[in-house]
Every structure is written in C-alpha cells, then in structure tokens.
Structure 1
Amino acid sequence: MIKRILLIISLIFVFNSCKKNDQKLNKKTHDLIISNKSLSKTNNSLLYINDSLNKVIKSMEIEVSNLKKEDSENIYSRTPNYLKRFFPSKISLFKYIFEEVKKHNEIKAFLYHSDIFLDKILQSKNDNESFLNSLNKKNAFTYFFKTTLRDPKIILNLFSTEEKNEIFTIIKTSNWYKESDIKNNINALLLTYQDIENTETPDEVYKKIQSDNYDKWELTSEDTTDALTFTNKYGTFCCNGMLRYCQLFWSRRNIEGNKKVVFNLIKEFNEFDKTHHYE
C-alpha cells in the first residue's frame, strides 16, 4: 500500500514538473513568436524605407535628367523679356556681338575701345521692371553679359551642336576672319592656357597673374610668342599687349571655375577649320 502511495506521489511530482517545463516552453515559444513578429515588422519597415529611398533617388535622377535637357534645349527660354525683345534667338544675340567685333581688325582694338561689355551703370544686378524696360539694345546686351552666370554647365549647354556649327561657319567664312588677327589670338589663348597648366602649381600661377605679381615672360613658351608676333609697316613686334590679356583671361576663367569648358570650346572653334575645310 505504501509503495502505491509513493508511486502516485512520484507520478504527481513528475506530472507537475512536466507541466511547469511545458509552461516555460510555451512561454519561450510565445516570446519567440512575438520576437519574430517584431523582426518581421522591422524588416517590413526597412523594406518600405528602402523602397522610399529608391523612389527618391529615381525622382532625383529624373529631375537631373530634366535639368540637363532644359539646359541644352530651353536655356534661352528663361531669358527675360527685356533681352528677348531685341534678340529673339541665340543666333541673333551672337550676330549682334559679331557685328561689333567686325568693326575692328585687331582684337586688341576691340577689347580696348568697345564699351559693349564695360558699361559701369550695368555692373550690378537690378530686377526692377522699370529699369529693365528702360534698357536699349546695347544696354540690354551689356546687362545680360554682366549678370549671366559663368557656370560651366550653362556655357557647355548654351548652344546646341547645330547652333555652334552655324556660328562657327558665320565667323570662319567672313572676310573679317581672313583679314583680322583673330586666328593668331585664338592660338595664343590656347597656348597660354597650356603654358599655365603645364607649370608645377597652376593654381598659384593664376593667383600671381591676378595680382600682377609675376614675370609674364617666364610663363610664355616660344610657340605662344610666335603666335603673338605681328608685322606691320613699322616692323615686327610682340606681343601688342595681348600676352598679358591672354594670361588674365585664363586667370578670370579659373576664378569662375569654367576654364576647362571655355578652353574646349575655343579649341573646338579652332579645329572647325579642319573638319569643315574653311581654310
């Protein structure tokens, strides 16, 4: 009898122990389920964030693409009315300045005597409508030139390939191009850029040029000197003031951050002879 009682007690103890273990197991299982649900929610949240980021990135890529398209195709459409009433297209804007340039067979004379770029009244930006409406054709161009951003992207995309070809053709087929000193000065600009960029510290050289604290001849290669050498009835001379101008030209482009774009544009114009047989 006593043995039976002990057996029953043992069975009860084992049953209770199993029940407690089962309860602990159930609790752990429940905790794991909750943890799994939490991880699942976290994962879903991360997937949502990742999806959102991808949408933002895609949207930004589309926006950048549209901006590039706008720069290359519609940049002139953003030109204000004060300018468009005189110059309905970019080609008409170019033709205006080209007619001014053609008045001088020497580029130095144009740079020194033409005031088309230099009206001091128009140096600073003024969005007052009455002021803008008061501008005549010359002042409208000058104001546009003075207040237009020198951003490399704008310069790069201002003209389409077709427009550049048209502009280059107008210049290259003109009598002025054949009779003026523009070819020598274009070569000098390209060579001067290379003279400066081939130094050990171009950035320091640009600063010295800007402050006029340098020997201009130390920067000048023989090819550049030859390009700027000219002969007239009084003899042979170099460099008619253009060497300093060429060096300052690139110093200013360096400050504006567009020197490479401008160099490539001038080089493209210079090589247009070879590709279109205008020489």
Structure 2
Amino acid sequence: MSVMSPPGQSAKLIKAAAAANAPWVLPNDYGSDPTETKMGEDAMIGPGKQADRDLIEKLGKSSWVGICCSFWYEYSLSTGPFTYGFDFENRSVTFIDDGTTKINTTTWPQTALAVARLLSLKVLPDDANDTSATLSQFRNQPAYVSSFLLSQKDMLESVLRVTGTKECDWKIEHEAHEVRFDAGVAQFNGGDRRGAVKLLYTRVFYPDGCGNYEARHGLHNNILRLPKEDLDEFTRIAVNRAERKVLVF
C-alpha cells in the first residue's frame, strides 16, 4: 500500500479480512524492526503499524505475519540525497556522522522472494517430531530478512567499484545525525514530504543500533532459503536507476 494512502485504509482491509475469516494477514508492515518502538515513534511510522497489528489481534479472526526487511537497497541508493545520502548527478555523498553505522538493507527481489517463501510454508508441523519450518512459528511476529549489512562507507566503496571512480572524484560531506534528523522534521513541517523520508532514513542510521536488527534477532534467510546476493550487482542497478532519473518516492 502506498505511503500516501489516506488514513484508515489498512484498517478497512484488516476488518474485511476478519469478516471473511481469513486465517492470515500480511499487514502493510514491511520495513524497520517493529520491536524498536522509540525509533518507530521518532520516525512517525511506528504507531500506525502497531495499531494495525493490534487491530488484527483484537478482532481475533486472523493472525499476522510481518516482513522486516529494512529499506530497499536499489531504491534507497538511487533515489536521492535524502535517503542513503547519494547524489549521483553531482557525484556527492553526505555521510551521517562518520558514515560507519551499519544497517540491514534488502533488495526488491529478495523481499519478494521472502514474502513468497514465507507464505508458502506449511501452517503446522506434520507431527511432534517434525522440526521443519512452519508458518505458525511466525504467528504474530515478523520474519527478519536482509540482503546486506552495510554502512554508507560500504555503499560508497561498492559505488566506486561499479562506476570506476575514485574517492577523490567524489565530494564527501558529513552531517551529525541529530542535525540531519531535525532538518528533515523542519522540511516536512514546511510542506516538503522529502523531509519525512530524510528523517525516517536518518533515524535508522542513529548509532543506537536500531538499524542492525540482524545483531539482535538474527535472520530468517536460511529458513526461507534466501540466496546470498552480490552487492555490486545491485549497486549497478541503483546507479543505472539514478542515471535514468528513476527517482520515484
């Protein structure tokens, strides 16, 4: 569902699923770690997502399963300086703090495959001795998936390899996370929705570790039989998107 959807749309769908006795619901809850409540509140996305999960459980007809995949890599690298900090047209990058904070990030194909593999799991074990993966083990909780654990510096190194450029060819700036976050808030309050994107991305790069859910929860990549991906392959896709100015957000 689009982030620009009117308020209340997801609740209507959840109620419709309950009325139809749908046993499982995958809510509009892809993205950041739902257990990071402070981050969710600061970024303004957490309360709405929690309300959807609470509604599913309150209605009592369905269970929910979520996909925690963080930001989409190709999209976030290519869209503009307000996401992962890269401006390919001007060959510049803004590092949040020193650019070494690592976060999980996932490609579009990996996210899609994770959803397909998760919903393809059998619901329950065959018997008491069956230890294979089931959908029920994810009942009312997220599956944690990721393509890469990267810092902005890691991303730049991949960009340099893909573009054949050197670090000296790029203008590198630094911005403290609090300053960048506050700038995003001010921008959003001034009517520029890119400010909401900036504050959201910046909050996940805070040095409190909120963006590295792999360190706290581990990953379900193996359970879902997700492949290991090549970073430079998807960096190349992002660079191509940026060059073609495919900058939808």
TM-score, L = length of structure 1: 0.21
Structure ID, larger Rg: 1
Of Structure 1 and Structure 2, which has the larger fraction of its residues in helix? 1
**Structure with more relative contact order (C-alpha pairs < 8 Å, separation 6 or more):** 2
Of Structure 1 and Structure 2, which has the larger fraction of its residues in strand? 2
